[in-house]
Amino acid sequence: MVVKNESLVLDLLEWIAARPRTHRDVMSVWRTSCPRLPIWEDAVDDGLLVQTGARIALSSRGAEFLAAHRAPDG
């Protein structure tokens, strides 16, 4: 799978995977004033995140992507 801005998307996925996050949390922490780096939008467009009510979580595709790209424990 090819993901735009892969390293930043991975940072976002790891942050969300660490504990439950709300939409407000995500928008507050991951906002950007740069229209060229819409990390949230890239992750949603690629099907890596799901939203249920106010809760944001990794989709199964997002969890697989994160697992495939996460650095192995050393």
12 in any annotated domain: yes
57 in any annotated domain: yes
24 in any annotated domain: yes
Residue-level pLDDT at 4: 77
CATH of residue 19's domain is 1.10.10.10
Domain count, the chain: 1
Q: Which domain holds residue 39?
A: 6-69
* Confidence label for 74 from pLDDT (cuts 50, 70 and 90): very low
Q: Which pTM value belongs to this model?
A: 0.81
Residue-level pLDDT at 11: 92
Contact call for residues 9 and 73 (beta carbons, < 8 A): no
1 in any annotated domain: no
